[in-house]
């Protein structure tokens, strides 16, 4: 007698599922070859298309679900809130839903207008069920974070930060304490392509890297692609971070004021023409008097020192609905940081001053036009401008007692990269199980990495200042196929890049697979090839202005990454809990790095591509686990990553593999919120990371005639700092003012148990005089102790 155990039953279901899905997948291939009569599901079809909006604000909603019955076929609204779904001839109704909103059921589909406009209303119990955890897409490696979640995470000095929030996602490691640079799946921050309304942002940090330039109040959605990259994206080896700005309230005038320790911010939005045109402007400026925190040093002896620092960022977006099917968008971003240090002394009536200044910033602009061409075809075109420049200035001035200038020397070093891009894309929904996207991008890059201005003679060779022009042309096709429980996102991107006399062209295949199994299980897999045509020369990972973007050259060809991932996903609907496990392997080639003994300024020459270490290899592998509870009074997620990221260069460590500096073997974060009634929310964030790799001395020597012994450093990254861990606690109090305005008071503690996380070790000597023995010392430096924060925001 044969007994069927539950496991055997599950196995038999799986076998049948596999057989069925393989048949359907084969059918897809045939369909792709033009055999349309292979469609096994729908004989007669009805297409419904339209846009989904927030009923209260008129904001287009990205990622809203459109479904009917228990069918696996449906649609998700795109970046413009558009959906198109082709249905069996007479479905009962269509369900349009979005987490945190009341679902909308559409009946009598045949009599609906085109395009359909669906307005969703927020749930009455919004405070409890608003999404507070990352939403993973069906396909592996794609995650979306809600702005509400980002704002609810306790943060350094209370500054909600988009990039730091992404650092709590599996597969994403962070760099130095407090910094916003992300190391996604063993990559480096320059391998992240950050897009703000499709415009690339080359330096996304304020305050030397301590927080990002993105103002959460101006954003609608934040998506991270760390694998299974859609073919429409290209240019970032390790990740694509896609940020979409809010459109602006189309119903009524509204605003928000925020007061924080680091900055003050103001957001205004409202209709220009009700339900047709709207705007949003949002800006942040550094706290007035922030500079005075760095106390000026002065003395009565006629000398002094002065520091000043300030930053700002400004977002604006305007949109205008030309007709029911046509819409225009204009997005702007501008943000800069300025730092200056001046020293002066007054001797015998002559006043001499020296100054050092740093500034860096981005400007982006995006003009977009979208059109619903038919019920199955959506088109969009975009003109994009992006500019990043940074400057390092030094000057020397001399004045007499009459304040007449006697002398002036100055030297300015500027680096700049400027992009002009045109994008055209069509989205085609020919069948309920198939979505096609195809398009082309043309980008003209203008690099001016080494521009020098000075009024004194330089004896060395002057860096040239002519811009380097690179032209990148991309074409892509992206298909998304859903066949019962199987979803396949298959795409191909083809890039052609021309710079000076060098010409590169590479195909980039992309595959993302998802297979839904019974009992809310799903299997996922992906394969992606990415190429990156720009390189960052930087003296550190801080995001300071001392960096320069340079194009690939004949000597330093574009870097390449190939990534494979496989994972499983399980959902527990009753508990609102999702668990995902994913492993990945990534191979990188044609990487660059600094040679031993050469710093950033040594690279500031046209011959940089002779000086850097090139043709480096990278290998990364990892396992990611995420447990998330998206909704409920207690919500949040646990993220764990086990990973190893290594590099190999011919002239570093005798061609041996060595760990990437921010290779973190273990990376754990626990982020949760607890809604305490309707007014209070408690939140916490705990991070544990293996200490980053450092280069340690392996011996000491005393050389003839030298005063002090020298340390002999070993192989690059031959040691590690102790583990980094930190707990942040936060409390949010929701308030209603006398004038019935909603306000929020946030306060909490960063590094609540005052862990002295090591930032770096300094090795040196002490003693050696007055009879004391000369001794080696190793000093640990830490950055942030326990730091309380408080911020207040009010909506009107």
Partner 1 sequence: MKFQQLFLSLLILHLISACQEREVELELPYSGDRLVISCNLKASEPVKVEVSQTFRPLGIVPSNTRVSGATVSLTKNNQTTIVLSPDGKGSYLSDTVVEAGAEYVVQVIMKGFPSAESLPVKVPDAKPDFSYKIRKNVKGQNNPNIPQDLVSLYFSDDKMPEKYHLVSFSMHYEREARSSYWTSDDSFTSTEESCFAGFSDRSGGSSNELFLFRNECMPKPGNPVSFSLEVAAGRLDTSNNSIGQFFLEYADKARMRVANISQEWFMLAQSENRQPKGVDHFVQAPQETYTNVKNGYGVVYASNETSIDIDL
Residue 124, number of CB atoms within 10 A of its CB = 9
**Angle at the Cα of 216 from the Cα atoms of 82 and 59, rounded to 5 degrees:** 25
Nearer to partner 1, 114 or 763 (CB): 763
Least distance (Å) from partner 1 to the CB of residue 352? 8
Nearer to partner 1, 589 or 633 (CB): 633
Picking from 624, 629, 623, the residue whose alpha carbon sits closest to that of residue 671 is 629
| Residue 458 binds to partner 1 (criterion: CB under 8 A) | yes
Residues 327-366 that bind partner 1 (CB under 8 A): 347-348, 350, 352
700 alpha carbon, distance to own chain's centre: 43
Q: In what order do the strands lie in the sheet with 192-196?
A: 135-136, 142-145, 219-225, 239-245, 192-196, 199-200
* Residue span binding partner 1 (CB under 8 A) among the ranges 32-40, 296-304, 439-447, 596-604: 596-604
| Residue 756 binds to partner 1 (criterion: CB under 8 A) | yes
| Residue window 518-537: x/- pattern of binding to partner 1, with contact defined by CB under 8 A | --------------------
Using CA atoms, how far residue 194 sits from 127, 143, 449, 466, 791, in Å, is: 30, 15, 20, 27, 27
| Residue 670 binds to partner 1 (criterion: CB under 8 A) | yes
Least distance (Å) from partner 1 to the CB of residue 97? 23
Which residue among 69, 507, 722, 785 contacts partner 1 (CB under 8 A)? 722
Residues 698-717 that bind partner 1 (CB under 8 A): 698-707, 709-714, 716-717
d(CA 150, CA 596): 39
Which residue among 340, 587, 589, 725 contacts partner 1 (CB under 8 A)? 725
Picking from 710, 711, 717, 712, the residue whose alpha carbon sits closest to that of residue 695 is 717
Nearer to partner 1, 111 or 459 (CB): 459
d(CA 150, CA 132): 8
Least distance (Å) from partner 1 to the CB of residue 788? 18
Which residue among 410, 527, 761, 792 contacts partner 1 (CB under 8 A)? 761
d(CA 202, CA 209): 13
Phi-psi region of 251 (alpha: psi -120 to 50; beta: other; left: phi over 0): alpha
Phi-psi region of 63 (alpha: psi -120 to 50; beta: other; left: phi over 0): left
Least distance (Å) from partner 1 to the CB of residue 668? 9
| Residue 185 binds to partner 1 (criterion: CB under 8 A) | no
Q: CB-based burial of residue 55 (10 Å sphere; 0-12 exposed, 13-18 middle, 19+ buried)? A: middle
* CA within 13 Å, CB half, 226: 29
Least distance (Å) from partner 1 to the CB of residue 584? 26
Picking from 322, 325, 329, the residue whose alpha carbon sits closest to that of residue 247 is 329
Which residue among 334, 718, 734, 782 contacts partner 1 (CB under 8 A)? 718
Residues 568-587 that bind partner 1 (CB under 8 A): 575, 577
| Residue 629 binds to partner 1 (criterion: CB under 8 A) | yes
* CA within 13 Å, CB half, 726: 25
Which residue among 47, 446, 540, 571 contacts partner 1 (CB under 8 A)? 540
Number of residues located near partner 1, criterion CB under 8 A: 78
Nearer to partner 1, 464 or 725 (CB): 725
| Residue 216 binds to partner 1 (criterion: CB under 8 A) | no
| Residue 302 binds to partner 1 (criterion: CB under 8 A) | no
Alpha helices by DSSP H, 327-430: none
Nearer to partner 1, 69 or 602 (CB): 602
Phi-psi region of 207 (alpha: psi -120 to 50; beta: other; left: phi over 0): left
- DSSP state at residue 151: H
* CA within 13 Å, CB half, 345: 3
Residues 148-177 that bind partner 1 (CB under 8 A): 176
Residues 51-90 that bind partner 1 (CB under 8 A): none
| Residue 769 binds to partner 1 (criterion: CB under 8 A) | no
Residues 548-567 that bind partner 1 (CB under 8 A): none
Least distance (Å) from partner 1 to the CB of residue 640? 12
* Count of residues making up the chain: 796
Residues in Cβ contact with 389 at an 8 Å cutoff, skipping those fewer than 6 apart: 360, 361, 414, 415, 416, 417
* Ordered DSSP codes for 168-230: TSTTEEE-STT---EEETT--GGGEEEEETTEE-S--EEGGGTEES--GGGEEEEEEESSS--
d(CA 489, CA 479): 6
**Angle at the Cα of 462 from the Cα atoms of 459 and 468, rounded to 5 degrees:** 175
Which residue among 7, 110, 299, 457 contacts partner 1 (CB under 8 A)? 457
Least distance (Å) from partner 1 to the CB of residue 344? 13
Q: Residue 659: which H helix or E strand, with range? A: strand 658-659
Nearer to partner 1, 11 or 520 (CB): 520
428 alpha carbon, distance to own chain's centre: 28
Nearer to partner 1, 498 or 765 (CB): 765
| Residue 625 binds to partner 1 (criterion: CB under 8 A) | no
| Residue window 679-698: x/- pattern of binding to partner 1, with contact defined by CB under 8 A | -----x-x-------xxxxx
d(CA 744, CA 731): 10
Residues 650-669 that bind partner 1 (CB under 8 A): 661
Least distance (Å) from partner 1 to the CB of residue 689? 13
Which residue among 6, 573, 597, 677 contacts partner 1 (CB under 8 A)? 597
Q: Is 614 helix (H, G, I), strand (E, B) or coil?
A: strand
| Residue 764 binds to partner 1 (criterion: CB under 8 A) | yes
Least distance (Å) from partner 1 to the CB of residue 739? 37
* Residue span binding partner 1 (CB under 8 A) among the ranges 385-393, 442-450, 778-786, 788-796: 778-786
d(CA 62, CA 171): 24
Residues 427-456 that bind partner 1 (CB under 8 A): 456
Least distance (Å) from partner 1 to the CB of residue 578? 12
Least distance (Å) from partner 1 to the CB of residue 747? 19
Nearer to partner 1, 352 or 585 (CB): 352
Nearer to partner 1, 246 or 661 (CB): 661
* Ordered DSSP codes for 511-537: EEEEEEETTTEEEEEEEEEEEE-EEEE
Picking from 238, 209, 240, the residue whose alpha carbon sits closest to that of residue 224 is 240
Least distance (Å) from partner 1 to the CB of residue 187? 19
Q: CB-based burial of residue 692 (10 Å sphere; 0-12 exposed, 13-18 middle, 19+ buried)? A: buried
* Residue span binding partner 1 (CB under 8 A) among the ranges 31-39, 158-166, 374-382, 772-780: 772-780
Nearer to partner 1, 198 or 547 (CB): 547
Nearer to partner 1, 217 or 641 (CB): 641
Q: CB-based burial of residue 740 (10 Å sphere; 0-12 exposed, 13-18 middle, 19+ buried)? A: exposed
| Residue 636 binds to partner 1 (criterion: CB under 8 A) | yes
Least distance (Å) from partner 1 to the CB of residue 655? 14
| Residue 459 binds to partner 1 (criterion: CB under 8 A) | yes
Least distance (Å) from partner 1 to the CB of residue 716? 7
Rounded to 10 degrees, the C-alpha dihedral 142/144/150/152 comes to: -110
* Residue span binding partner 1 (CB under 8 A) among the ranges 62-70, 157-165, 376-384, 590-598: 590-598
| Residue 102 binds to partner 1 (criterion: CB under 8 A) | no
| Residue 301 binds to partner 1 (criterion: CB under 8 A) | no
Residues 398-417 that bind partner 1 (CB under 8 A): 409
Nearer to partner 1, 422 or 753 (CB): 753
* Residue span binding partner 1 (CB under 8 A) among the ranges 276-284, 304-312, 371-379, 631-639: 631-639
Q: 3-state DSSP: the chain helix, strand, coil percent, rounded to 5? A: 10, 60, 35
């Amino acid at each position: 007698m044969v007994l069927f155990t539950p496991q055997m039953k599950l196995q038999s279901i799986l076998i049948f599922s596999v057989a069925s899905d393989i048949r359907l997948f084969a059918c897809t291939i045939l369909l792709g070859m033009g055999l349309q009569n292979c469609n096994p599901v729908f004989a007669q079809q009805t297409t419904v298309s339209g846009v989904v909006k927030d009923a209260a604000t008129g904001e287009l909603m990205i990622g809203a679900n459109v479904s009917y019955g228990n069918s696996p076929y449906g649609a998700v609204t795109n970046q413009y809130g558009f959906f198109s779904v082709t249905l069996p001839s007479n479905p009962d109704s269509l369900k349009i839903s979005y987490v945190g909103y009341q679902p909308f059921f559409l009946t009598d589909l045949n009599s609906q207008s085109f395009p359909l406009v669906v307005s969703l209303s927020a749930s009455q119990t919004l405070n409890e069920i608003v999404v507070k955890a990352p939403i993973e897409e069906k396909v592996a490696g794609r995650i979306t974070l809600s702005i509400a979640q980002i704002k609810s995470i306790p943060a350094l000095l209370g500054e909600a930060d988009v990039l730091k929030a992404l650092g709590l996602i599996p597969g994403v490691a962070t760099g130095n304490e407090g910094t916003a640079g992300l190391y996604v799946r063993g990559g480096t921050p320059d391998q992240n392509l950050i897009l703000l309304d499709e415009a690339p942002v080359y330096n996304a940090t304020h305050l030397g890297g301590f927080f990002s330039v993105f103002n959460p109040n101006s954003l609608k959605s934040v998506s991270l692609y760390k694998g299974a990259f859609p073919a429409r994206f290209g240019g970032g080896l390790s990740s694509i971070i896609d940020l979409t700005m809010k459109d602006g309230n189309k119903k009524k005038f509204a605003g928000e004021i925020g007061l924080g320790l680091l900055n003050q911010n103001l957001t205004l939005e409202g209709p220009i023409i009700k339900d047709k045109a709207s705007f949003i402007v949002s800006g942040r400026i550094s706290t007035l008097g922030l500079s005075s925190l760095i106390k000026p040093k002065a003395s009565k002896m006629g000398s002094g020192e002065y520091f000043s620092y300030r930053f700002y960022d400004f977002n604006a977006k305007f949109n205008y609905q030309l007709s029911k099917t046509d819409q225009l968008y204009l997005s702007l971003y501008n943000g800069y940081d300025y730092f200056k240090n001046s020293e002066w002394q007054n001797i015998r009536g002559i006043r001499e001053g020296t100054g050092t200044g740093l500034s860096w910033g981005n400007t982006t602009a995006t003009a977009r036009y979208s059109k619903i061409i038919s019920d199955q075809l959506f088109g969009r075109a975009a003109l994009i401008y992006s500019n990043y420049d940074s400057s390092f200035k030094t000057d020397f001035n001399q004045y007499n007692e009459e304040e007449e200038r006697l002398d002036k020397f100055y030297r300015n070093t500027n680096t700049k990269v400027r992009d002009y891009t045109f994008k055209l894309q069509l989205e085609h929904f020919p069948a309920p199980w198939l979505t096609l996207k195809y398009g082309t991008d043309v980008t003209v890059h203008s690099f001016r990495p080494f521009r020098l201005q000075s009024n004194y003679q330089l004896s060395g060779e002057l860096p040239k200042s002519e811009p380097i022009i690179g032209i990148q042309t991309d074409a892509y096709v992206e298909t998304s196929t859903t066949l019962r429980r199987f979803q396949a996102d298959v795409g191909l991107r083809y890039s052609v890049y021309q710079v000076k006399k060098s010409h590169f062209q590479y195909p980039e295949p992309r595959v993302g697979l998802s297979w839904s199994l019974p009992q809310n299980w799903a299997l996922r897999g992906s394969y992606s090839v990415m190429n990156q045509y720009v390189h960052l020369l930087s003296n550190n990972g801080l995001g300071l202005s001392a960096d320069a973007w340079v194009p690939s050259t004949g000597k330093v060809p574009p870097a390449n990454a190939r990534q494979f991932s496989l994972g499983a996903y399980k959902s527990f609907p009753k508990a609102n809990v999702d668990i995902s496990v994913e492993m990945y392997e990534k191979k990188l080639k044609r990487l660059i790095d600094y040679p031993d003994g050469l710093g950033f300024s040594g690279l500031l020459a046209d011959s940089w591509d002779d000086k850097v270490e090139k043709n480096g290899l990278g290998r990364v592998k990892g396992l990611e686990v995420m447990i998330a509870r998206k909704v409920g009074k207690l919500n949040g997620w646990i993220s764990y990553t086990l990973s190893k990221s290594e590099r190999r260069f011919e002239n570093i460590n005798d061609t041996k593999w060595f760990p990437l500096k921010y290779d973190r073997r273990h990376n754990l974060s626990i982020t949760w919120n607890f809604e305490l009634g309707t007014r209070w929310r408690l939140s916490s964030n705990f991070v544990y990371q293996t200490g980053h790799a450092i280069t340690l001395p392996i011996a000491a020597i005393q050389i003839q005639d030298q005063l002090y012994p020298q340390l002999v450093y070993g192989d690059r990254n031959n040691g590690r700092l102790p583990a980094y861990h930190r707990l942040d606690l936060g409390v949010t109090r929701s308030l209603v003012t006398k004038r019935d305005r909603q306000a929020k008071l946030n306060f909490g503690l960063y590094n609540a148990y005052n862990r002295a996380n090591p930032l770096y070790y300094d090795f040196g000597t002490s003693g050696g005089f007055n009879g004391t023995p000369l001794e080696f010392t190793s000093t640990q430096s830490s950055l942030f102790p326990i730091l309380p924060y408080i911020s207040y925001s009010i909506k009107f």
